Amino acid sequence: MSVADAPLVVGVDSSTQSTKVLVVDSSSGEVVASGQAPHTVSSGAGRESDPAQWWQALQDALAQCGDYARRAAAVSVAGQQHGLVTLGSDGRPVRPALLWNDVRPAARTADLVQRLGGPKAWAERVGSVPAPAFTIGKWAWLRENEPAAVAATTAVRLPHDYLTERLTGQGTTDRSDASGTGWWAASMEGYDEEILALAELDPALLPRVVGPGEVAGTVRDIPDLPFSTGTLVAPGMGDNAAAALGLGLLPGTPVLSLGTSGTVYAVAEELTPDPSGTVSGFADARGDWLPLACTLNCTLAVDRIAALLGLDREAVEAGGSAVLLPFLDGERTPALPGASGLLQGLRHETTPGQLLQAAYDGAVFALLQALGLVLGQDERASSASASTSPLLLIGGGARGTAWQQTVRRLSGRPVQVPRAQELVALGAAAQAAGLLTGEDAAAVARRWGTADGPVLEPTSWDDATLERIEQVLTTAVPLLGGGS
């Protein structure tokens, strides 16, 4: 079947900084057109963005796809998680959206955690202990600081919900994105009325949760978009669930995402809540679960160390005894929010390249610790039991040789780097294709071969480096700023 007559689908990735659109052949997975348009984020005390510009960016990105987008039979929108979008009676935003990385609600979130009975109660009920990023704390902060905006709000949405609703005219969300709010409970697969009462949020303001494989609606007559009226609209999902879908993940396959922050996750058929709050028990977009842990310091922190040393990011050297924990913005895993970076073991013979390698080692060590928690076991034990199962390495750092070699050396696992780009938008496209074919969306992605890529064979564990970092981390918590 040629592109001229194959059904086309559109996958949208509405992220913090931009909107990306892929038009994909639903049969082969070939990307036949793409577009991208930027967003702006406020740089003041909080992190906010006007949802209207997401809609404009969607229009601009689709316009770059030419006539291909007009021929699409289905569309799905994936978006940044946790953002709070408040709409008035006219359907317009009451105020700019509070984004996932707006930390002003931290105190309100902590208060809500205690009022329900503490972290264990939240983990067992919701599946996650709300972090400052979760939407429930943002609503509490808004109630306290902007009561007029709350009074004017007639609908509460997440970023991907907002775009989907503008397409269809119907207020919907999906379980993956809802699971990052704090008011959708894994234990009941639905909104928790007691938690909504605790947060003083009327359930009538919330969107309907559309199940996996269901149709959220159809595209309305929208002159500013190239879609035909009646084009199918999928439920959409949060960005991490979309990336997992875009890889066609099978349960148990671990993913390391190397971005500004680092994220580790794996699809699980059953949810095991983590009362420490380190692992978030998110739902995936299919009906399974997506336990996920995040480290704050990844590529941005290591690149900062390289810049301080005046080195290219690949200019690492082996050897040396230095330990560098690049916790430049505090750290989430391990839980050291008040931490700063720490250098220990410096000697006369230490070279700049060895210091840079130590920064990579410190960042990857934290990622592997987080992965061990996601998989429910010590990472070295999990590697020993699954030595033939590769880690999927994605994100901006995944193609960096220094990142690849460090992950191999400290994990003892093979590493696979998928060739596919824009996995969030590809996951959305796979969901849209599933509406047309009746297939499971992850099976669509596997049929497209989205995770295919070179596999780098495992190397022996660098036990000396692992033990050196473990010792420093154990003894240096007071120097790092503790857990405050």
The answer on pLDDT for 121 being more than 90 is yes
Would you state the pLDDT for residue 331?
A: 86
DSSP codes joined into one string, 164-200: HHHHHSS-EEEHHHHTTTSSEETTTTEE-HHHHHHTT
Alpha-helix runs per DSSP H in 247-386: 299-309, 352-375, 379-385
Closest by CA position to 35, among listed 46, 57, 20? 20
- Checking if the pLDDT of 128 tops 70, the result is yes
- Please compute, for residue 256, the number of CA atoms within 13 A of its CA located in the half-sphere on the CB side: 33
Say what the pTM is: 0.90
Q: What's the confidence (pLDDT) of residue 380? A: 55
Give the closest residue to 328 by CA, choosing from 376, 296, 357: 296
Is residue 484 predicted with pLDDT exceeding 80? no
What distance in Å separates the CA atoms of residue 331 and residue 427, rounded to the nearest whole number?
29
- pLDDT at 103 (0 to 100): 82
Q: How far is CA 159 from CA 70, 135, 163, 432, 461, in A?
A: 24, 11, 7, 18, 42
Share of the chain above pLDDT 90, in %: 84
Nearest to 36 by CA among 61, 70, 72: 61
| Identified catalytic residue from 13, 161, 239, 284 | 239
Q: Is 239 noted as a catalytic residue in this protein? A: yes
Mean pLDDT of 1-6: 56
Any idea what DSSP says for residue 99?
P
Average pLDDT over residues 464-472: 94
Average pLDDT, the chain: 93
